[in-house]
Structure 1
Amino acid sequence: MSTLNFFVTCPKGVEYLLADEMQGFGLELLRNAPAGVWVQGDLQAGYRACLWSRLANRVILNLGEVDATSGDRLYEGVRNIDWAEHLAVSGRFKVAFVGQNDALRNTQYGAQRVKDAVVDRLRLDDGTRPSIDTDTPDVIISARLHRGILQIGVDLSGDSLHKRGYRTEKGAAPLKENLAAALLLRSGWPEIAAAGGDFVDPMCGSGTLPIEAALMAMDEAPGLRRQQFGFSRWQGHQPELWQRLLHEANERAELGRAACKSRFYGYDQDASVVTTAQRNLHRAGLTGAVTGAVTGAVTVSCRSLDEFTREPSWNDQGLVLTNPPYGERLSERKHLAELYQRLGEQVKANLPGWRLAVFTGAPGVGHAIGLRSYKQYKLFNGKLPAQLLLFQVDEASVTVAREPSAPGHVAPKVSNTDRANMFSNRLRKNRKTLGQWARKQGIECYRLYDADMPEFALAIDIYGDRVHVQEYAPPKTVDARSARERLAEALAVIPTALDISSDAMVCKQRQRQSGVSQYEKQDASGDFFTVHEHGCKLKVNLRDYLDTGLFLDHRPVRYWVQKNVAGKRFLNLFCYTGAASVHAAVGGAVSSLSLDMSKTYVKWAQENLALNHMDTRAHRVEQADCIEWLATGSALSEQFDLIFMDPPTFSNSARMEGVLDIQRDHRQLVEQAMARLAPDGLLIFSNNFRRFRLDDALIAQFQVEDVSPATIDRDFQRNPRIHRCWHIRHPG
């Protein structure tokens, strides 16, 4: 058989498991990709992936790469493929197009160009041509656009492979089958099942976890009960090869079911979802395993967590894997810790020696289980970030506050609960005092908490009705597991203490940044919203970048500009998202020029000015390397009355020649900026390099005043070294 390339997709976070699985099918790993892997092998291995993969969403036979820098080039590249090898002239097909670039900004347009190319390649002289059918196509053409390249292929899967065929109904917040399989693999279920261990899910919902656990232990191919695949009417399909693989899978399932020594139990307090789970069990062909069998039994029944008890026939080893409620609503979240505590108590009382695995979107509540997690895996439930927490149910893993051995000499140890309560009380107190102050000041964004308690090294900022949490990276002297546990405690407390939903909270880790990493994109949510500051409207985004689009510590500087800029020409160097320019425009500047080398932030600054209805002719934003712009003679023709310059500490952007080091280079920057300053003008120079020292030559050359204390607002008084700021004027 010839060697083919495949792109196999999967849920985000499952890529490495998928790579191992594909190699087990005889496919060679080429590279990992976000939410998928590239592999190479023959058609038999591709068929095997469709039939046996427990983790994949789709198996795409790659036909090649196409230049997609324009719609016409995309069309020509797709048309050059010999589509007769894949689709009959009179066949039906659909195009699944994902991705955008500057030339193809609409997926419908991209799909249309692909469709036209395929039809035009196959069209006969008598007008016979393939047709579009989005419901029952013979072939699904996969078109995945990344920048200027289109990956074009045939989807061999049809429907997503997570659809095994047994689940046609859904309980509340159902877990997809391939994600359930990933959880089982990460929890070590294959090894436990091989040793005859049992499986229990005490909050099973529609039964996905116990069903997947049973199919895995019984060696049944997850695609065995599917009626249709994407290759069924594909021109390259080899039915004899496929039938051999099906025969092999049926034999393995029969042998696996006979050899299985494990038992499987699912419980839920909701009778309606238990009924759904039982119907799913029947469609999965597992109902018959219950009658008259001691091992291999699969049972789903209605029972609350409080009623959970161990059955006498259960093995001394096994796995408890469950996906408890996440507490998406505030009323539910208040009871999460109690639910997790009950889960821990029941497992510790009934199943010592077992393994416990909890898949949760609220990992901060995990400490309430009362066991120390020995492993954590970051995954996603759909788009929701979640973690799989693994625990060994034994005395060594129990987390209890220990009594001091010598009372009077050693202070009593604070329990996790007491520590969390102290943190919660601090947040409430700060919100009351700083919230009142912020409302009087006319600001919606402020720092609420800045590592006030050493145990919780976080910076917590309020942005209207949302909360931005930054975890300071722990020093090497701090145990990583302890740091994770404390972060989990904090994240569990914050929503309740501040009376917000979990969706309104964003958490990041703050580390020392180099180059332009603080400006690099972290996500692509596009979740922009508007906040108000001293009468100005500003766009912020808490998710997509390390910083939010608004440096809160510079609020007093921006307000000073707003109050002192009327009738003046304003220059904003290294302008970022142009917040200071907005304040200048609102304050009555006759004109402003804002410069930054990032296209993203230039656009953002323009949108901020437009949001405040400013004249773009008077208030310009331009993309430029500020260092190069200051050094050019052409810039000398334009002078300014007020200049704000807040350069990064370091920068090695690809768009800039050389490397900016603010300590080394600031004298030249200041001198060049002063050359653009009107005789009676003012330069506000600032930076956040903690060890910064202003060059003595500048102090001798200009009138320099350190105004740093006046630029530290009330919410940053715990951290007065967050920036330094000077007013610099020409000598009198």
Structure 2
Amino acid sequence: RPLLDPFCGTGTIPIEAALIGRNMAPGMYRDFPSADWHCIPKEIWRDARTESLDLMKQPGSERLLGTDNDDKILIAARKNATLAGVADDIHFQQREFKDLLSKREHGCLITNPPYGERMGEPEEVEQLYRSFPETLKRLPTWSHYIITSYPKFERLIQKEADRRRKLYNGRIECTYYQFHGPRPGIGVDRTPVRHDESQPEQNAPERVETADAPTAVFGGDLRKTAEQCEIFANRLTKRARHLRRWPAKRGITCFRLYERDIPEIPLVVDRYEDHLHIVEFDRPHERDLAQHADWLEQIVKTASQTLDIPTDQIFLKQKHRQSGSEQHQKVDATSYELQVQEGGLNFIVNLSDYVDTGLFLDHRQTREMVRKSASGKRVLNLFGYTGAFTVYAIDGGASSTVTVDLSRNYLSWAHRNLLVNNFPADNHQFVRADAIEFVTEMASPEEFDIAIVDPPTFSNSKRLENDWDIQRQHVELLNATLAAIKPDGMIYFSTNFRRFKLDEESIHSNSIVEISKQTVPEDYRNRRIHRCWKIRKPAP
């Protein structure tokens, strides 16, 4: 069987394996001081070397493989293999661990990855180990042997080893984790079961299913996923048929197709032109990391086949509960951008880099309300994000707008959204500032006619002196915004915090009307995706 070390470093494991495979005596090519001792006859040394050469086996037909992401360290590995006499037995190659792949059905992966003792930061090591199941599932019938001192390795990869052995790497106590794959000759059938057996696939291989069929070391039997994929496909087909003419009639090319309709498939699927943006939400399940990666892969393939959209035009994200010091971060740097239409306007969305795309589809109706009320008005867009409300206000005839956000990137994005609609930048400002500070420090109060206030539920941005909490600070925010608008002016306030309670008695307005039912688009199954209010400033 082939042997692979994906963290080979200077080549220790592949070189030792090659020496064992060739039955080469340790040190057979080195000189020993005792060879010059007069008390040991020269013939003994000569006979010993001759015997070791006689016992040495010829190189095997299978070259061992050592890979590492550091090309400089591979130079040392090749040199070490040459000194050991096994240079022709090992192929060293520069490759990232995430790109691990082999066409061979069976093999042994033996490796000593970084574990934060001598190399690698602890956070980087943990992130690397979390990637093990998804990467190693590409070798489902291989055996995997991993040496590490990381104390919670099995818990991190959500997989118990078949055997463990305590070892020492120098003075570092390590564990040798052994994950045994099926014996050669016994494969793992991971083909999803086809439920329509009346129309067999052309050239499909015959499968023999047995109760004792082996399972993959990392990953799962995809046949168990087939039923959910079929249900998911039926739901997508039904929704696509229902919304077939609906988007064109409303001048939109981005809308919601699926919204956690099936509890066991907690996904949100949005269509942007001929692309899909899929977000998975946290929900308890019995799959380990590798099995879950297989499940997601099949779900994406199902969406692709059902909606006839290539997989390279499908973007999958994962949304975790935000808590403590966590902050939604950039998840990619591909910058896959697309121009979409909504309400006769153009917007730039980024499908790759963030969990959100730059256009909150659930506020489509609210943006239309702003457009209808903006004629001749001065509009303030707080927490402006990518400026979608600003674009609608300008299209509705707003005399001027001010878009406020802490992110320079989002403000630049908002400005680009104006440009793709051929709107002039005159009388439209983009201000990088904290929203509350901006409205409380305005030189001229009562400056605006309309304010849009759509803050995040929580933020611990480094640019803020204190963490932002919508429940705790909404009264201060809204009262400061009321002071910034003219008498009889209007605030459109919204939040997606499900447990939010508006403190109406503390807000300086005698006209607060909840309009949530009117603002949730009809393509949204979740009618509580957000809550929204119109708050009017009292006339003098």
TM-score (norm 2): 0.65
Q: How far apart, in 2, do the equivalents of 1:729 and 1:705 lie?
A: 9
For structure 1, which runs of at least 5 residues remain unmatched after alignment?
1-13, 26-184, 197-210, 222-228, 231-241, 261-280, 285-320, 325-346, 348-353, 358-373, 380-386, 405-413
Residues 219-271 of structure 1: CA deviation (Å, up to 9, x unaligned): 999xxxxxxx99xxxxxxxxxxx9x99887446345975xx9xxxxxxxxxxx
Q: Distance in 1 between matches of 2:315 and 2:77?
A: 47
Partner of 2:281 in structure 1? 472
1:21 aligns with 2:28: no
User: 1:722: Cα distance to partner?
Assistant: 1.5
Q: Distance in 1 between matches of 2:344 and 2:375?
A: 15
- 1:639 maps to 2:447: yes
How far apart in 2 are the matches of 1:719 and 1:190? 60
* Counterpart code for 1:722: I
Residue in 2 aligned with 1:443? 252
Quickly say closer, same or farther: Cα 1:192–1:512, change in 2 above 3 A: farther
Aligned to 1:368: none
Q: What aligned pairs does 1:286-325 form with structure 2 within 5 A after superposition?
A: 322-323=102-103
State the 1:498 CA deviation. Answer: 1.1
Change (3 A) 1:583 1:635: same
Contact 2:140 2:188 in 1 (8 A): no
CA separation in 2, counterparts of 1:247 and 1:485? 39
Partner residue of 2:386 out of 565, 577, 585: 577
Q: CA deviation at 1:501?
A: 1.2
User: For 1:588 and 1:479, how far apart are their aligned partners in 2?
Assistant: 54
The aligned residue for residue 322 of structure 2 is: 513
1:55-74 to 2 correspondences below 5 Å: none
Q: Once the two structures are superposed, what CA deviation does each residue of 1:584-614 show, in whole Å capped at 9, x if it has no partner?
A: 1111111111000100001111111121122
CA distance in structure 2 between the aligned counterparts of 1:477 and 1:468, rounded to whole angstroms: 25
Residue pair 1:377, 1:389 contacting (<8 A) in 2 also: no
Q: Which amino acid aligns with 1:252?
A: A
Given candidates 265, 277, 280, the residue that maps to 1:456 is: 265
Tell me the distance in 2 between the aligned counterparts of 1:453 and 1:556.
26
Cα pair distance change 1:483/1:589, threshold 3 Å = same
C-alpha distance 687-254 of structure 1, shift in aligned 2 (>3 A): closer
Q: Give the 5 Å matches for 1:142-541.
A: 214-216=62-64, 249-250=81-82, 252-253=84-85, 322-323=102-103, 354=106, 376-378=133-135, 388-391=138-141, 392-393=181-182, 416-475=225-284, 480=289, 483-513=292-322, 520-541=329-350
Secondary structure at 2:523 match in 1: helix
Matches within 5 A, 1:537-556: 537-556=346-365
| 2:15–2:86 CA contact under 8 A, matched in 1 | no
- Once residues 220 and 681 of structure 1 are traced to their aligned partners in structure 2, the CA distance between those partners, rounded to angstroms, is 66
Q: Tell me the residue number matched to 1:719.
A: 526
1:437: Cα distance to partner? 1.3
Structure 1 residues 17 and 396: alpha-carbon distance in aligned structure 2, compared to 1, 3 A threshold: closer
Distance in 1 (CA, whole Å) between partners of 2:401 and 2:78 is 71
The 5-angstrom pairing of residues 598-677 of structure 1 reads: 598-634=407-443, 636=445, 639-677=447-485
Code of the aligned partner of 1:216? L
The 1:565/1:355 distance shift into structure 2, 3 A limit, reads: same
Distance 1:249 1:581, change over 3 A: same
Question: Does the aligned pair in 2 maintain the 1:220–1:253 contact within 8 Å?
Answer: no
Which residue is equivalent to 1:594? 403
Matching residue within 488, 513, 522 for 1:705: 513
Q: CA deviation at 1:477?
A: 6.8
Distance in 2 (CA, whole Å) between partners of 1:590 and 1:493 is 48
**Contact 2:390/2:401 (<8 A) preserved:** yes
- Separation of aligned partners in 1, 2:267 and 2:60: 40
Secondary structure at 1:634 match in 2: coil
- Return the letter of the residue paired with 1:561: V
Equivalence for 1:695 = 503
Say if 1:193 and 1:615 are closer, same or farther in 2 by CA, change over 3 A: farther
- The separation in 2 between residues aligned to 1:698 and 1:467, in whole angstroms, is 43
What secondary structure, in the 3-state scheme, does the structure 2 residue paired with 1:388 have? coil
Cα shift readout 1:155-202 (whole Å, capped 9, x = no counterpart): xxxxxxxxxxxxxxxxxxxxxxxxxxxxxx9xx999799679xxxxxx
Q: Distance in 1 between matches of 2:306 and 2:77?
A: 57
Identify which of structures 1 and 2 has the higher relative contact order when contacts are C-alpha pairs closer than 8 Å and 6+ apart. 2
Report SS of the residue matched to 2:334. coil
Partners of 1:426 and 1:507 lie apart in 2 by 19
Q: Note if contact 2:274-2:313 (Cα within 8 Å) is conserved in structure 1.
A: yes
Q: Following TM superposition, by how much is the alpha carbon of 1:393 offset from its aligned partner in structure 2, in angstroms?
A: 3.4
User: How far apart in 1 are the matches of 2:319 and 2:67?
Assistant: 46
TM-aligned CA deviation for residue 728 of structure 1:
0.5
User: Alpha-carbon deviation of 1:564?
Assistant: 1.9
Structure 1 residue 548: deviation in Å?
0.7
Counterpart-to-counterpart distance in 2, 1:255 and 1:604:
54
Q: Structure 2: any 5+ residue segments left out of the alignment?
A: 23-58, 93-100, 110-130, 142-180, 194-208, 212-222
The alignment partner of 1:606 has SS state of helix
1:721 maps to amino acid: R
Q: Secondary structure at the match of 1:664?
A: helix
Cα deviation for residue 465 of structure 1 reads: 1.1
CA positional deviation for 1:376: 3.0
Q: 1:443: Cα distance to partner?
A: 0.8
Aligned-residue offset at 1:461: 0.6
Rounded to whole Å, the distance in 1 between the matches of 2:276 and 2:138 is 25
Distance 1:388 1:569, change over 3 A: same
TM-score by length of 1: 0.49
Q: Which residue of 1 aligns with 2:25?
A: none
C-alpha separation between the residues in 2 aligned to 1:528 and 1:516? 29
CA distance in 1: counterparts of 2:488 and 2:325, whole angstroms = 34
The alignment covers a number of residue pairs equal to: 402
Distance 1:506 1:554 in 2: 22
Aligned to 2:51: none
Cα shift readout 1:50-84 (whole Å, capped 9, x = no counterpart) = xxxxxxxxxxxxxxxxxxxxxxxxxxxxxxxxxxx
Mapped partners of 2:489, 2:134: distance in 1: 56
SS at match of 1:440: helix
Distance in 2 between the 1:489 and 1:247 partners? 44
Question: Following the alignment from structure 2 to structure 1, what is the Cα–Cα distance between the partners of residues 518 and 60?
Answer: 63
CA contact 2:508–2:537 (8 Å) conserved in 1: no
Matches of 1:551 and 1:600 in 2, distance apart?
Answer: 17
The 1:213/1:675 distance shift into structure 2, 3 A limit, reads farther
Q: Which amino acid aligns with 2:413?
A: W
In 2, distance between residues paired with 1:604 and 1:444? 19
Residues 80-159 of structure 1 correspond to what in structure 2 (within 5 A)?
none
Q: Distance in 2 between matches of 1:403 and 1:702?
A: 72
Q: Which residue of 2 aligns with 1:336?
A: none
Secondary structure at the counterpart of residue 242 of structure 2 = helix
The percent identity for this pair of structures is: 36
